[in-house]
Structure 1
Amino acid sequence: MFKKILAFFIAATISASAFIAAPFVHAQAGGATKFQITAPATAVVGEAFDITVTALDKDGKKATGYLNSIMIWTDNIGDTYPMPGRLIPFTAEDAGEKKFSKGVIFKKAGKQKLYVQDGKEDIAGEVTITVEEGNGTTATSTGEIQILTPTVDSKITSSTLLVSGTARKNSKVSLDLNGKNVGTVVSDSEGLFTKEISNISQENNVLKASLIDANDSVIATSSEIRFSKINETSSVYGLSISPSNKVESSAGITLTIDAIKGLSEVTAMLDGTVLKATESSEGKYTIATTAPQKAGEYAIDVTAKTVTNQTTTKEKIATLTVTEKEKTEEKPTATPAFKNVKAETDEHKVTFTFSVENAPADLDAFKIFHNSGSVVTHSASKILKDGVYAWYIDSLTPGQYTFQIQGQNASGALIENLKSEPIMATIGALGCTVSNVGKISVKTDTSKSVLTWEAVTGANGYNVYKIDAEGKYNLVAHVKDPSYTLYLSQGAITYDNFGVKATCGDNTESQDFSGASKVQTGPGMVALVVIVSGFIAAMVLRRRDA
């Protein structure tokens, strides 16, 4: 019935128009005699599809000069088609052909017809489409429709927002913002949809999308997306410093800048240095750097640049406090040293005993060098007893030998800072060698000067020498204990130099004298210890040996 009424109305319009202005109407038709509707052979109830209307001439060619208006309709009330009940004009740019994207939705299954009619002349066209039932899904929020942008808890600075999402292909989608409908859109053949929403004024917003069937019933809803609108033009929101806003000088820090996503460049200014940030996650820009060396308060400025080169700078967005680094006292490393080295000889053998002060952790054994080779001891732990190491070398040819002991590690490498002084010994006769006497301490009171030194292991006594003006050593006493007392003479205050050698066996002396010490031998007030430097001692010894 609707078709008959519409046809009568159009026919009446055509007749009146032909009577009044037939030449003009024919010109506007551009030679068109019929319309061709290009549409899919099949469609689904509730899903939108594209159609194209083409004006054709009597030869079936496109009438590119067609400039009249058309009307489109179907047989069913409730179907969706372009501009229901209104004329749709063709323009010169259309060139006789007009496409309507996602323009038609049928609400019933079966063989359905789509009609097109010229608004002034008897030019028409139609097409039959097989419409199939959909899956009959009821209202759900299981993912059949989903909002892709904006994301949950995102921020916008503009009053407009481009919404995108996925749904059934070629289907109508309704958008609600804060409980109010803000428009509809039809998804494409891939199920994607986009629509711009404008006039967003609230700070906190809730967006929801609904999938609509041919009867305008909701068959699926998306999850609610909550987002906020920032009422400022700045694209930078804040800056955090980890591990803390207060660190020691030169400590490692990470700056995290909170800003809108997708900025082309974000930099921070710290202590006069520009630091470039990278977007580590959506809207998070990070910089790994070190704190300034000098203690103080440092304001940090941030500059952000968009892809359109719009720049925003936030001065003093955060402050870094730098403190002096706590100084830790380094304990001096104890130097290892051989102590109380003693060598005892007979016809073909020498036996060594010694101790090690501040033994290194990697000490594994000892290597003993001599005139004709070297010998490596067993493991250091195996030749140690009561704090004393003992080892011997046998089958030596009689004669004068110089020995030297050095530590080595498990890989056989020598330990450079653990090396004994040269040890002189005679093989082929009973004898012994002991370590040299260390430094001498002197204490003087009103009547005497007392010389003391550290006892040498293996020594059976000590020879005390006085050094004359020419540097000659003159034996003045042999003592059993590591001390010697001089009683002050009368007259003017005088000082003399003394040296000591340890003895072993049949009065065999240690190789070198102790460091020479200047001792008060004349009267006077209480004197403190005066130790002659190693340099002076060495010079005296050279003069003695010359």
Structure 2
Amino acid sequence: MKKILASILALVSVLPLSSLFAATATTTSAKADHFEVTIKSTARVGEAIDMTVKVLDKTGNVKKDYNGTIYVTVDNDTKATVPYADDGYTYKNADQGVMTFSKGLSFTKEGKMKVTIIDAEDDNLEGSAQVTVSNGAAETTTSTGTEAVTIISPDNNSEIPSDSIKVTGSTKKNSKVQIFLNGTKAGEVQTDETGKFVYEIKKLEQEQNILQAKLFDGTDKVIGQSDNVT
């Protein structure tokens, strides 16, 4: 018995201390290292394009538990439209480290543009992609599509107490919506992650007006439109 006990003690004495606790040790997931930015390499001035941002670790695996906030910048076009310009976009658990901003990016002038994604709290956590922008208006189709688009306010046949109106509605999330006033495009807005959109029309000139919202896909095709609101 003494020989057996001595052998066990001798074995324990030569084992690394870390191995004794290997069964109870916890493993910390790899740290986010950079963003992979995917966008089309060419675009036209005013064309709204998709952008996908993946959060990767050093080995190139998607960092699915990333919950940080990102901002989008365009080096050569300070007036470019970027998603969530004011508050940035905060990744959610459901994103699993990958977020596509449908029709979330457009440019106001020609040239080579560098689109950069930056983490709000870590300047070293970033990623970028290049886009060559050429002149020429983006084309749209007259197809009405089948996606549901709803104007929530104003109500139909409602009176507007001032010369401006705030149009709110809902449709597909993270997508481009154009607001039309009396058959003419009044403006453009992007829906949020819940599909909601808000756009304010100022200086209404007519007493009777017709409002409509149209939804566009990544090729500038109309894939849905609301009923007219008068």
TM-score bracket, shorter-length normalisation: 0.5 to 0.7
Quick one: which of 158, 174, 179 aligns to 1:174?
A: 179
Question: Residue 119 of structure 1 aligns to which amino acid in structure 2?
Answer: A
Overall identity of the aligned pairs, in % = 25
Matches within 5 A, 1:217-366: none
Q: Which has more strand, going by share of residues?
A: 1
Q: Match of 2:226, SS?
A: strand
Q: Deviations over 1:145-168 (max 9, x none)?
A: 64759xxxxxxxx96xx9xxxxxx
Task: Kindly report the root-mean-square deviation, in angstroms, between the aligned alpha carbons of the 2 structures.
Answer: 3.5
Could you tell me which residue of structure 2 aligns to residue 124 of structure 1? 126
1:55 aligned to 2:60?
no
- Mark the CA change 1:187 to 1:99 in structure 2 (over 3 Å): closer, same or farther: closer
Higher relative CO (Cα under 8 Å, sequence separation at least 6) belongs to 2
Could you tell me which residue of structure 2 aligns to residue 152 of structure 1? none
Matches within 5 A, 1:342-421: none
- Mark the CA change 1:123 to 1:85 in structure 2 (over 3 Å): closer, same or farther: same
Deviation at 1:103, TM superposition (A): 0.7
CA–CA distance in structure 2, aligned partners of residues 77 and 182 of structure 1: 30
Question: Residue 135 of structure 2 aligns to which amino acid in structure 1?
Answer: E
Matches within 5 A, 1:58-77: 58-75=58-75, 76-77=77-78
Q: Match of 1:116, SS?
A: strand
CA–CA distance in structure 2, aligned partners of residues 179 and 145 of structure 1: 24
Q: Is the 8 A contact 1:174 1:185 kept in 2?
A: no
Question: Residue 105 of structure 2 aligns to which amino acid in structure 1?
Answer: V
- Larger Rg computed on CA atoms: 1
Q: Is the 8 A contact 1:45 1:108 kept in 2?
A: yes
Deviation at 1:111, TM superposition (A): 0.6
Q: Deviations over 1:513-545 (max 9, x none)?
A: xxxxxxxxxxxxxxxxxxxxxxxxxxxxxxxxx
CA–CA distance in structure 2, aligned partners of residues 136 and 90 of structure 1: 30
Q: Match of 2:94, SS?
A: helix
Deviation at 1:109, TM superposition (A): 1.2
Could you tell me which residue of structure 2 aligns to residue 505 of structure 1? none
Q: Is the 8 A contact 2:102 2:218 kept in 1?
A: no
1:96 aligned to 2:97?
yes
Deviation at 1:179, TM superposition (A): 3.3
Q: Is the 8 A contact 1:114 1:128 kept in 2?
A: yes
Q: Match of 1:93, SS?
A: helix
CA–CA distance in structure 1, aligned partners of residues 125 and 226 of structure 2: 38
Q: Which ranges in structure 1 are unaligned for 5 or more consecutive residues?
A: 1-26, 138-143, 150-157, 163-169, 203-546
CA–CA distance in structure 1, aligned partners of residues 137 and 119 of structure 2: 37
Q: Match of 1:100, SS?
A: strand
Could you tell me which residue of structure 1 aligns to residue 135 of structure 2? 133
Q: Deviations over 1:26-77 (max 9, x none)?
A: x8x9610111101111111111111100111011221112111111121322
Q: Deviations over 1:247-290 (max 9, x none)?
A: xxxxxxxxxxxxxxxxxxxxxxxxxxxxxxxxxxxxxxxxxxxx
Q: Is the 8 A contact 1:40 1:129 kept in 2?
A: yes
Task: Give me the TM-score of the superposition, normalised by structure 2.
Answer: 0.55
Q: Which ranges in structure 2 are unaligned for 5 or more consecutive residues?
A: 1-27, 146-154, 157-168, 170-174, 183-207
Q: Match of 1:127, SS?
A: strand
CA–CA distance in structure 2, aligned partners of residues 183 and 55 of structure 1: 33
Could you tell me which residue of structure 2 aligns to residue 194 of structure 1? 224
- Mark the CA change 1:49 to 1:148 in structure 2 (over 3 Å): closer, same or farther: closer
Q: Is the 8 A contact 1:46 1:171 kept in 2?
A: no
Could you tell me which residue of structure 2 aligns to residue 291 of structure 1? none
Q: Match of 1:71, SS?
A: strand
Could you tell me which residue of structure 2 aligns to residue 79 of structure 1? 80
Deviation at 1:113, TM superposition (A): 1.1
Q: Is the 8 A contact 2:144 2:225 kept in 1?
A: no
Deviation at 1:183, TM superposition (A): 4.9
Question: Residue 72 of structure 1 aligns to which amino acid in structure 2?
Answer: V
Deviation at 1:86, TM superposition (A): 1.5
Deviation at 1:108, TM superposition (A): 1.1
Q: Is the 8 A contact 1:30 1:65 kept in 2?
A: no
Question: Residue 123 of structure 1 aligns to which amino acid in structure 2?
Answer: L
- Mark the CA change 1:54 to 1:95 in structure 2 (over 3 Å): closer, same or farther: same
CA–CA distance in structure 2, aligned partners of residues 31 and 78 of structure 1: 33
